[in-house]
Amino acid sequence: MITGKNYIGNNLSGKGDVKFTTLNPKLNTENPSTFVEATTEEVDMAAELAWDAFKTYRKIPGKQRATFLNAIADLILELDEELVERYISETGLPEGRAKGERGRTVFQLRSFAELVAQDDWRENTFDAAEPNRKPIPKVDLRKALIPMGPVAVFGASNFPMAYSTAGGDTASALAAGCPVIVKSHPMHAGTSELVASAIVKAAQETGMPNGVFSCVNGGVDVGVDLVKHPKVKAVGFTGSITGGRALFDLASQREEPIPVFAEMGSINPVVITPKAISRRADEIAQTYADSITLGTGQFCTNPGLLLTIKDANTQNFVETLAEKTVAISPQCMLHPNIKRGYEKNGEEVTSQKGVESMAKRSEDVKVNDAPAEVATVSGTDFLNNPKMHKEVFGPFSLVVQCKDEEELLQVIENLEGQLTGTLIAEKDDNLDLETLVDVLQNRVGRIIYNGVPTGVEVCASMQHGGPYPASTDSRFTAVGIHSIKRWARPISYQSFPEELLPNYLR
């Protein structure tokens, strides 16, 4: 049941005067529920409760936290059709996507539960004392990872479950022993409240301290209150460069600066070799038409930049790619604001000198649908104009036709940090790709060979993050069990008696 209120710990609260509704982008009509934006007082209450809960929760054994995480997963599944229907009404996304994202959310929770049931994730290290060592005796030292404190998590617009209320940031922070305060995304506040109700119920049923989880509604002001609160010790964010950088700057300006782990924009360059184009242009064009339009292009790993070397086959390939891309039926975007952003950013790129729009869907486009578009430009013009590096969030891709390999490498070297880079090549290309791989790996967090960047496997070997501005700290991943390390810090115990050490260091 949707109340429209904020979860401040285990209790619902709606003290504010600012109210809002969510939109059904498919129907372009408001959804029935009204939501109350959290007040500064309510944000303060949530942060204070989280800090009090942290004193207890950080010491709760991993097996008990695992029980909590598994209970959240179970209760999300129990929400069943109510959750799926609300998700669809607030996003315009299909039922299959809703159920797929729910499955991913549950899988992440269970993965972290399995991880923290043991203490190996803490990277425990032991250096025994050597009292007789000359000239200086060696002391006993033991090191482990411990939780940092309450974490503020910002729900992502494009993943209402997997990157939001009970998504990867929340699951990994709770697993580490950190209470979480979620700021729900205003576009899917109802979906967020339903998931929040499952988390709160799970906390109560498994005996977790009140305040281990809160969920507040609101916009920029609520986010600012959260990041500035002295009891919040870290921030998780998935979204735009503008939003992530604003949070990063705000957190850096605090009296006690705190880390912001923001996963932000990316255009995910794809390099296609001349041999690959000459031998399987049609296959590559179809594969990338599907990838560009997948989920209406509303993925941070969308292939927004294709890099080729201009030759006799290149122009035909670009035309085929454009034809196949716009042939795919337009799909609804998450919100009219996102649709407007897509149109504005796309027009800014295509209006630059030397850019030619190869094809843009103009028929059967409903009010919040995104017409797919493919454009092309020379390598020289791309190098001379950084405005073409802009992420166009939606089904858009720019093909850069370089005059030779040297110019192609120069294009990659001049790109900002990216989440992914892809190589589409033939087997007999491989011996000539070493320099390209070296240049590419300096700009990205994940390199794909003969695949597509869309689709992020949730596993230990996944790196979802990259050099700035793809993320604010390229040493960490936002996906997979290693993302828990964002919310933990190392501590060493020197010459400690056994009885004072935590169990995992005895």
Give the active site residues. 263, 300
In this structure, what token pair is assigned to residue 20? 């809002």
Of 204, 152, 154, the C-alpha closest to 179 is 152
Q: Residue 92: helix, strand or coil by DSSP?
A: coil
Instruction: Give the three-class secondary structure for 405.
Output: helix
What whole-number distance in Å separates Cα of residue 156 and Cα of residue 478?
13
How many angstroms separate the CA atoms of 91 and 22, rounded? 9
First to last CA, the chain: 47
- Closest to 24 measured CA to CA, from 368, 340, 341, 339: 368
Residue matched to tokens 């309510």: 42
Question: Partners of 491 in the beta sheet?
Answer: 144
Residue 416 DSSP label: P
Decide: helix, strand or coil at residue 377.
Answer: strand
Instruction: Report the Cα 441 to chain-centroid distance in Å.
Output: 20
State the Cα–Cα distance between residues 398 and 304, nearest whole angstrom.
6
CA distances to 92, 275, 303, 441 from 238, rounded to whole Å, are 20, 37, 18, 22
Radius of gyration, alpha carbons of the chain: 24
> 375, 321 in Cβ contact below 8 A?
no
Query: For residue 420, what are the β-bridge partners?
Result: 446
**Cα–Cα nearest to 143, from 496, 473, 466, 410:** 496
Cα(271)–Cα(363) distance, integer angstroms: 31
C-alpha to C-alpha distance for 296 and 396, rounded to whole angstroms: 9
Alpha carbons 201 and 197: distance in angstroms, whole number = 6
The β-bridge partners of 239 are: none
Rounded to whole angstroms, how far apart are CA atoms 39 and 36? 9
Q: What is the DSSP annotation of 178-199?
A: --EEEE--GGGHHHHHHHHHHH
The 3-state DSSP class for residue 210 equals coil
- CB under 8 Å to 239, separation ≥6 — which residues? 154, 156, 157, 262, 264
133 burial level (CB within 10 Å; 0-12, 13-18, 19+): exposed
Do residues 305 and 272 touch, judged by C-beta distance below 8 A?
no
